[in-house]
Structure formats: structure tokens, C-alpha cells
Structure 1
């Protein structure tokens, strides 16, 4: 909601100020479709050349994060801590039961308590692969931490690809605006024999390209890139919480302490309260 308000406020202040200063929208509106075609088309075409099909699609999807926000909410962290607690309790009571859960998470009655988690393969792999490594005596906490750090860094690198793509578009838009403006000047020079009032409109239309390139770059695309990056950084806290629980487990801490260590490292705006986590864990049952 705040993103929509911000965009509306930007348009209102820019074009409202222009109108209050005595500007006329007619020249801008007349040139706008052609300028958007040239500038927007060149930006999208250049981006398509520089990126793979998957990156192109992913960037389009990630733009929605500007309006939807992060993937994980406070209640998701509560469910995550519950699932991890149940897994650790299973490992403590019967490692064979744990193996069944981590080898087939889609069929696990523990993972099924959090269907949204099952939709994130990166999170499932982080949990199952790490617990699986413990069953193979790969349980040195330092090695586990290094393994999880690499996995988290890989996830983050992949999810920041769209940020780099959006920022590259933002960096190129002012130059593409100049290209459109130059074409407008060329068009104007072809009508140099026209009276001043005609030439004035043609020159004004040419300058719309420069304005549009700069406006789109710094008022829309660059802020979109910054917002997507902020959302990605926020979402990475989910994987860091998984890391904290599992790392504490390999340090031989009790399951409840593992969960509490992770809870305290969750960002404040998303962190469930101690009493809420206690209630969730108290109602959790270790299924066989």
C-alpha cells in the first residue's frame, strides 16, 4: 500500500508542480506514447539481450514484491520454529523417525504442518541436507556453519539477480532518454522552415524524451530496485533463522534453546514473542 501511495505522491508532486508553474500537459501527452515506445522498448530490448529468459521472467515477477512485500510474515516464523522444534525432538527421541521426515518431506506429517514451507525448495534443502549430514557424522559445528553460509549466499545471489537487472535498466534510461530527444531534434530540424510556435512545440516534444528517461530512472525503476533488494534482504532472515536453529542443534543445545536462539535473531518487526513461541511449542506434538 505504501508503494502505491509513494508512486501516486511522486506523480502528483512532479506534474502538479509543473502545472502550477504554468506548464501545459498537451505537449507532454502528445509526445508521451512515442517516447515511451522508444525509451521503454529500447530498455526492455537491451535487458532481454543482456539476460536469460529465466532472468527476464524472474525480474517481472520480482517487481510485484514492491507492492506485496516480503514472502515470510510473523506467523510463518512461528510455524518454522515449530517445525524445526519437532524435527529436533524427533532426532532426540528416534533418529530413524527423523530420517523418514527428511528423506521425504512432502510426505512428512511434520512438514505438512507448514505447507508454505514445502513450497520453498531452498528452505527444505537447507533443513533436510543439513540434518542428513548430521546422520552421516558430518556434525562439526564449524563445518555445518560453513555449509549453511554457502547455501544462504547462493540463495541470496540468485534472488538479487533481478535487483541488478532493474538497476541496469535505471542506469541506462537517462541515456535512452537522450537518444529519444536527439531523434526529436532531428525531426525538428526537418521542419526548420516552420514558424516559431510550431518549432517551439516540436522542441518541447523532443525534450519530453530527456525528461521521461530521467523520471523513469530515478523516480520509478531505481526505487523499485531498492525496494526489491530490501525485500530480498528481509526474506533472507528466514534462512538465517533455519541456520541458527540447526547450528545450535549441532552445538548440542536442547531443542527449546535452539529455537530461542533463532527467535532472538529474527528481525524485530517479524519476531514472534517469547510467550507466543512457548505456546506454539507447548501445543506441538512429535508425530511418529
Structure 2
């Protein structure tokens, strides 16, 4: 079986980092997004602002591919420049995503649907995630935050453990100090009480792990988090990803949903879970499941 994993040219991908450590890594091939576009004969035409050549045969080396795993969570500036080539004004990220999406439609690929701002699913900032969770799972708590739109000042003096960050920073939850100057769109979050806990998933498989060595998760809490993760994965249209929680006794705070696996990659069972989810997908499509 030949499986291609497509990733952005510049943004690290957990699966690529894990491949060398696994004996079955030879069945997978990692292809950069700019290379994937070029393989299909697409070129960006600066004059028209369009990708041309969509009628090509689409497969310099992909004719024998059984499955394409899309891991392009975001498109970097470097990828846009690489696709355009030297001396050409690069396409906008949205233009590149649209061309990429048209190519993905040619292949079998594990997906959950609900794509919005990303081909892997719905990619939205933290405050939008929290609004979704409030409506969808009201029994979960979400962090307190303050957001100064534009130059609007933010007073976080009542926060005990403030975290100044951007709304798309899903991973840094260390309390810090306000940045110097008066930046636009200042965003500050109160770090939730409790122990940071991670649930990562591939397909219908999930695992929950404590993020500090001293913490242990009881079976009933792990089940609650796994059930909530399944609902969130469906809502965010994700086939792979991870959720950060803060657990304090029976109280659960939903902190962030990420299509990336930057925290989960530290756990050795992640790659085995990925392979099992791939096998589940193939069995389902072949009618064996």
C-alpha cells in the first residue's frame, strides 16, 4: 500500500517527524505542497491571477497512490513563493488552497468534512472555539479572556495568571507579562485552574494523557474527555487532531482544539493509532468493516 502525506513546505508536521522511528515508514511518502501542485501540472499565472494547467493528467508519480493524507493545516508564505517561482508575484493563500482542494478531490483520502479556512477542517481562533463549545457542550467550562479590538486597551488586572498571546496560539499556556508598547488586537487569557490534559485522535480512535508526569487520569474522566473529543472532532470537521483540557477534580475546562499534533507527537502510541485509523478507513471503503 502506498500512502502520500501532503504537508506545507515550511510548517513542521508531526507525522513526518515520527516516520523514521517506525519500521512501516517505508509505505508512506511525504510530499511538500508546492511539489504536489507541480506534480499535477498546475502553474500560477501572474497575469491572470489563476492556476493554469488543471487539465493535466495529474500524476507524475502519484498513479499508484492508494490514499492521500492531507496535513496542510495552514499554508505558509514560503509555500506560496515556492509555487509561484522566482520573480513572480505569489498567489494568495486562498487561491492556493482552492487549487489544492481541486486536486485532493481526485484521490481517496480520510476526511471528516466541514472544511472552513483549511482543507483539513474548520480552523478558527480560540475565542470562536469557545463560543462554539458554550453552545454545543454547555457542561464544559471555557477560559476567561479579554480581547481589545484594534487599539482598544485591555485591563487584565483582575486576572491572577494572565497569558498574553494571539487568538491562533493554541499551544502556549504559560502565564506571562503584557508585551511592551500598545499592539493592536491585544488578547489575554486567564490560565485555567487544574491539570493540563491532552486527548489526541485519529479517525474514531482517541487517547487521553496527562501532560505532567505526576498526574494520573482515572478511567471515568478519560471516557468523558474522549466522548467530548468525538463531538468536537465532528464539529470542527477533523479526522486528526488534539484537544487541550484543564482538569480540576470533576471540573473540565476546554482550552483549545488543534488540527495539528504538536503535543500528541511526544506519545509513542500516536503513530500506531494513526496506522490503525488508516487501516480502519481502508477496511470501511472496501466493505470489510
Report the TM range for the smaller structure's normalisation: under 0.3
Q: Say which structure is richer in strand.
A: 2
TM-score by length of 1: 0.22
Q: Which has the higher contact order (CA 8 A, sep 6+)?
A: 1
Q: TM-score, normalised by structure 2?
A: 0.22
Higher helix fraction (1 or 2): 1
